[in-house]
Each structure stands twice: as structure tokens, then as C-alpha cells.
Structure 1
């Protein structure tokens, strides 16, 4: 007699293509919140949803503003982990800089690195890049 096979649970995934537009970061925040709270089929903490939404906003803004391209937002949810990936056409990696106290910007990547358990920038085929942030359960 054979033992019953257990179905392996697959990670929940979503991919969104966002245009190079001022409104893309807002759409990315909305799509991330809806996917993580209603569409992924996994339990995601409120803190993870908030952190992922903030990270998505920063990375999509950077991709559309500094990468000068549309971008692809990918969300992966495994038990206890949320992975955010933003891919754009620019080969230039994001800069981690120390802005002056009076600067209005320049703190986003530092914030992403602070919130994420893991942070990486991966080169892509054709010269683009993927910025990845992994959030662990709190």
C-alpha cells in the first residue's frame, strides 16, 4: 500500500507591468496591498504588508524616474517570506548615499535596506537590472 502523496504548496506569485509614469508608484502600492491582503492565499502580517508597500513604492519610483523606463513588479509569497522584485531597463544600480539633512530625497534605498532582511541588485539580460528585497515574518 502506498502512502498518500502530500501536495507541495507552490509559492503565490504576481507580476505587473507598470508604465514609465508618475502614477505607477501609486498603482504599485495598490496592487501590492490587494495581492498581499486578498489574493496570495497566504497569511501575511500587517507589518509585512506595510513594509512591502513602502518598498514597492520606492523601487517603482526609482525605476520609472531614474531608470527612465517602464518596470516589471513581481511579488512572491512563501510561508513567512514576502519577496519584492522590480525590474527595469537601466543597467545603473541604485545608489546608497548619505543625503544632507535639508535634501528632500535620497533616503529611499537606505530605507529599503533597513526594512528588508535581504537586499540585492541583479543584472539582467539585455542590460537591465532587477532590484530584490526579501521581508521575513516579524
Structure 2
């Protein structure tokens, strides 16, 4: 797995005496087989954050994070021709799920339609995330979904 992680399992950049930045990344190629690895990374990351650093993470959050990651990675594989990068970061009571891909076109939610097959990914992400932002970047875009770690922060 192409995870970007430090010796303790999570990157902890910053100066001594500052709170560690808890984050993990996974490079994704144009092959859709990495979706399961991305879901596993989300679960392992949140488990380590809870067990090692004592940050409250409820079980439902792990499932929600895996769903959000799965939807974002699936859409990147479906609509972006090149590589992508999944980055997870704890920011206070929020898990930030960032996905960079090579398609500069921003996704758009469609009007609700129970007969539509597919194209519900952004709707699903928006339903579970506190915030969803899309930014154009050099060579593509970055989608960031902020998922509360506990229901109390929702």
C-alpha cells in the first residue's frame, strides 16, 4: 500500500511542543482496485487515532468515513483519467477527507430522483459530512468533506 505514514503509523509534522497533526494518505492510480484499500485506510486511521491518542471516535463515524471515502474514490476513478491522492486529517473534532484528482470539472448534485441509477455520490457525501468543498487546483481539483468524529460535534 502506498500510504504516507510516519514511524508511529501516523504523520506528526510540526514543531516540538505543538499538538501533532494526525494524518494519513494513500496514492491512487487509475485502477479502481484501490477503493477497498482506501476504505481500510480510513478505518485503520480512525482506530489508531482513538486507541493511541484518545481522540473520541464513535463506531458509526468509522462506517460513515468509509462510505465517504468510497464515494469520493469511486467518483475519481470513474471521472478522472489520471492518478489521485486521498488524504485524511484530524482537525479538532472533525475528520477531513480530501481527495485530489486530475479532472478539473467540479461535481454537481443532481435533483433528487428515486428512479435515477447511479450518480448519487456527492449527495451521499453531503448527507454525512458537515461541510463539502470543491476547489480547482493546478492539474485538477480537490474535494474536502468534513466528517464529525462524534454525534455531539454534528
Greater RCO (CA < 8 Å, at least 6 residues apart): 1
- Tell me whether 1:131 sits opposite 2:143 in the alignment: yes
The structure with the larger Rg is 1
CA distance in 2, matches of 1:80, 1:110: 23
Q: TM-score, normalised by structure 1?
A: 0.86
- For 1:19-98, what aligned pairs fall within 5 Å after superposition? 19-38=29-48, 41=53, 42-98=55-111
Aligned-residue offset at 1:39? 5.3
Contact 1:99/1:106, CA 8 A, preserved across alignment: no
Count of residues in correspondence between the two structures: 132
Q: Which runs of no fewer than 5 residues in structure 1 stay unpaired?
A: 1-5
Q: Which runs of no fewer than 5 residues in structure 2 stay unpaired?
A: 1-15
Q: TM-score, normalised by structure 2?
A: 0.78
